[in-house]
């Protein structure tokens, strides 16, 4: 998980007022349609089937709603500006595509890291000290006490070529969810070919379903700061050898493993297909005190499909009351449960309590042979495990898979 220096983005936004400009064709100059940039302080409608151009940052402020109708395409210009869309606390996004006419947010430059993606800030919890934080890009506040907070709707939305980099350590995700509440609906969303994470949760209680991350170079899914929502029918699919990191990187709080509320999402019916790379051989990486309930998952392509890396995380599986659990899951390797404390000569490696026997006793399968499971791409299931059945391909028509 990379931290973004939001100073440049915040400075850009502070210098802008909201503009909505039509650029007509003149002397051979192409008609770019309507330009979007700056602060949005009143409701804004992007009309069905139209193309709009993002000419820098677009930041929606309370109580405005950004409504995006089916078939809209938003294209970030390749002009060197820091471009992203950010929904602040109290504002909303209502982006409702369809299977046949999804909402597409993309870039003129068709490559990983071309623009800064979509960021939503809500009033649900975070376990940061003080219960609130600032978004990594755009410097917007998030956090609070309202886990039922509603930041709007995303349905049939595809986010392409995100992960804009200001420098080596400052990249942005496809979809960043900061303290987003479970009143928000997120269904049928794809992050495609991003340079950083696909979908990341910073606390909150938001639930997602039918979401696909394809070939994002850092982690496909990432959570931290106490996220405790659900994710059902999700896919992480990696293509580029040596580029992609974890299929899921899962933290409670990197500075305080015991911070509360503790990250404890439920993941059900998931497909995770990775590619190994030097230092990038972990699939589902549970660490920093996170807890989890994982059901009906398929995990392959990484030499370490599941790792448990802190005593708090490992211990959550073996405690007697409300333990973490993995059930009905098939992995292509053995499970690894261990962690290291200290540095240098003081470092001590601890072998975890959660064993392969305990894993398989819960109805899971290790060292599973996945040959023949996926007829093409990520389509395929094993019994009730996996996100996309060949008999019910809910990704057809709107998801890009290569």
Residue 26 has pLDDT above 90, yes or no: no
Question: What ranges in 235-340 are assigned the alpha helix state H?
Answer: 311-318
- Residue of 149, 141, 172 lying closest to 159 (CA atoms): 172
- pLDDT band of 186, cuts 50, 70, 90: very high
Residue holding tokens 């309507």? 34
* Interval 350-364 mean pLDDT: 95
The owner of tokens 């003080």 is 130
Q: Tens digit of pLDDT for each residue in 133-167?
A: 999 899 999 999 999 999 999 999 999 999 998 76
> What are the angstrom distances between the C-alpha of 26 and each of 29, 32, 51, 72, 252?
5, 11, 18, 24, 54
Q: What's residue 337's pLDDT? A: 96
Q: Output the pLDDT for position 365.
A: 98
Q: HEC profile for 170-198? A: EECCCEEEECCCCCCEEEEEEEECCCCCC
Contact at 8 Å (CB) between 253 and 127?
A: yes
Left (φ > 0), alpha (ψ -120 to 50) or beta: where does 372 sit?
left
Strands 170-171 and 165-167, bridge-based pairing: antiparallel
pLDDT tens-place string over residues 214-245 = 999 999 999 999 999 999 999 999 999 889 99
φ, ψ dihedrals at 60, nearest 5°:
-95, 125
pLDDT for 96 equals 98
The residue written with tokens 């471009």 in the block is: 83
Q: Report the mean per-residue pLDDT for the chain.
A: 91
Residue 158 contacts residue 198 (beta carbons within 8 Å): no
Helix (H) or strand (E) holding 156: strand 152-160
Which has the minimum average pLDDT: 13-17, 153-157, 353-357? 13-17
Give the three-state DSSP class for 1: coil
Instruction: Report strand pairing: 248-250 vs 221-224.
Output: parallel
* Band of pLDDT at residue 32, cut at 50, 70 and 90: very low
**Nearest-CA neighbor of 210 among 186, 228, 227, 192?**
186
Inter-CA distances, 158 with 26, 105, 336, 396, Å:
31, 6, 34, 13
Instruction: Indicate if the pLDDT at residue 21 is higher than 70.
Output: no
Of 26 and 391, which is predicted with more confidence? 391
DSSP-derived secondary structure for 314-364: HHHHH-SSS--EEES-EESS-EEEEEEESSGGG-EEEE-S--HHHHHHTT-
Is 348 exposed, middle or buried, given 0-12, 13-18 or 19+ CB atoms closer than 10 A? Answer: exposed
């Amino acid at each position: 998980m990379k931290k973004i220096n939001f100073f440049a983005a915040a400075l850009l936004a502070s210098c802008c007022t909201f503009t909505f400009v039509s650029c007509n064709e003149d002397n051979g100059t192409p008609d770019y349609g309507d330009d979007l940039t700056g602060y949005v302080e009143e409701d804004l409608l992007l009309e069905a089937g139209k193309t709009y151009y993002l000419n820098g940052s677009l930041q929606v402020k309370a109580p405005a709603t950004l409504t995006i109708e089916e078939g809209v395409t938003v294209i970030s210009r390749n002009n060197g500006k820091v471009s992203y869309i950010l929904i602040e606390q109290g504002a909303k996004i209502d982006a409702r595509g369809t299977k046949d006419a999804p909402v597409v947010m993309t870039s003129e430059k068709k490559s990983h890291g071309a623009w800064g993606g979509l960021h939503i800030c809500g009033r649900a919890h975070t376990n940061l000290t003080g219960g609130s934080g600032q978004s990594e890009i755009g410097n917007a506040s998030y956090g609070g006490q309202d886990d039922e907070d509603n930041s709007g709707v995303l349905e049939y939305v595809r986010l392409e070529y995100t992960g804009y980099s200001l420098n080596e350590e400052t990249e942005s995700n496809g979809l960043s969810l900061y303290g987003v509440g479970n009143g928000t609906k997120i269904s049928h969303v794809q992050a495609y070919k991003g340079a950083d994470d696909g979908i990341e949760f910073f606390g909150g209680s938001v639930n997602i379903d039918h979401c696909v991350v394809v070939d994002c170079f850092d982690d496909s899914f990432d959570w931290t700061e106490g996220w405790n929502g659900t994710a059902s029918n999700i896919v992480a699919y990696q293509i580029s050898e040596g580029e992609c990191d974890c299929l899921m990187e899962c933290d409670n709080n990197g500075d305080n493993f015991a911070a509360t509320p503790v990250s404890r999402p439920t993941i059900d019916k998931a497909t995770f297909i990775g590619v190994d790379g030097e230092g990038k051989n972990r699939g589902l990486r549970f660490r920093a005190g996170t807890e989890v309930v994982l059901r009906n998952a398929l995990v392959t392509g990484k030499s370490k499909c599941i790792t448990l890396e802190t005593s708090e995380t490992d211990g959550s599986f073996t405690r007697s009351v409300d333990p973490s659990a993995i059930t009905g899951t098939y992995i292509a390797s053995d499970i690894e449960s261990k962690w290291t404390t200290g540095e240098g000569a003081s470092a001590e490696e601890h072998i975890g309590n959660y064993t392969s026997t305990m894993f398989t006793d819960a109805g899971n399968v290790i060292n599973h042979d996945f040959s023949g499971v996926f007829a093409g791409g990520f389509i395929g299931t094993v019994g009730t495990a996996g996100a996309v059945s060949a008999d019910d391909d809910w990704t057809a028509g709107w998801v890009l898979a290569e």
